[in-house]
Amino acid sequence: MSDKPSMTLSELQALIRTMYSSKDEARGVDGTFMWLMEEVGELAAALREGTKEEQAKEFADVLAWLATIANVADIDLGAAVAAKYGKGCPGCGAMVCACGIEEKP
């Protein structure tokens, strides 16, 4: 277990909503999606060449922008993840995925 602070998806969404909701709503889903894609590119670069600290920051940015889009689209990320993955792999149904490596569950 880590001594570092953590938060749930619901807490992240609430934090992002508090900090940025008026800007995010004005930008809309399409504009916000473009920011997410930029952050995904930065994460890809950090995974290839960055330090663990740089990678961690980019993972956080990607997750924050995903939470932003979910807020604008009025989607509860925690509920969505639980509904899709909470009872096992959506492909094979097992808690430890048994799908072939070439399959996308």
Which CATH number covers residue 45?
A: 1.10.287.1080
Q: So what's the pLDDT on residue 86?
A: 96
Find out whether 72 and 28 touch, Cβ atoms under 8 Å. yes
CA dist 22 → 63, 76, 78, 104 (Å): 19, 18, 22, 36
Q: How many residues does the chain have?
A: 105
Residue 13, domain member (yes or no): yes
Is 84 among the domain residues? no
> Does residue 41 sit within a domain?
yes
In a domain, 36, yes or no: yes
From the list 90, 92, 38, 99, the residue with the least C-alpha distance to 64 is 38
Q: The whole model's pTM is what? A: 0.86
Provide the domain count of the chain: 1
- Residue 16's domain comprises 9-74
What's the pLDDT score for residue 103? 84
Strand ranges (E), 20-79? none
Least Cα distance to 68 among 79, 59, 77, 58 occurs for 77
Average pLDDT over residues 83-104: 93
